[in-house]
Amino acid sequence: NAGVTQTPKFQVLKTGQSMTLQCAQDMNHEYMSWYRQDPGMGLRLIHYSVGAGITDQGEVPNGYNVSRSTTEDFPLRLLSAAPSQTSVYFCASLDFGGYTFGSGTRLTVV
């Protein structure tokens, strides 16, 4: 039981490049979320999903896309990376208790 797995752990992108941050969970949780964490800003919700085929926007969705074709996977796509997207990204899934977070992806956009 691996919990929530995020890849890659680190990534450097050039402005304008696109990429996908991967997230997978093996706990059969319906609810999954993507958060970004910036110094002094806490965790801000980007997108979330309440089940396969259902996604919705969070607090800071601009510049990001998500899809949920299976219960297990919830990838986050950066369409055209900008320096403002430099951050640590956490994927999380939720059961009746609290969130289980992945170990994060540290993204730098230059």
Partner 1 sequence: GQQVMQIPQYQHVQEGEDFTTYCNSSTTLSNIQWYKQRPGGHPVFLIQLVKSGEVKKQKRLTFQFGEAKKNSSLHITATQTTDVGTYFCAGGFRGSNYKLTFGKGTLLTVNP
Question: By the criterion CB under 8 A, which residues form the site for partner 1?
Answer: 31, 33, 35, 40-45, 48, 50, 58-59, 90, 92, 94, 97-104
CB of 11 to partner 1, least distance (A): 16
CB of 61 to partner 1, least distance (A): 13
Residue type, 40: G
The answer to whether the CB of 35 falls within 8 A of the CB of 92 is yes
Nearer to partner 1, 14 or 97 (CB): 97
Nearer to partner 1, 64 or 90 (CB): 90
Tell me the C-alpha distance between 19 and 40, whole Å.
26
Nearer to partner 1, 26 or 59 (CB): 59
Cα 46 to Cα 9, 36, 63, distances in angstroms: 18, 7, 10
> Residue 55's closest CA among 72, 73, 67?
67
CB of 41 to partner 1, least distance (A): 7
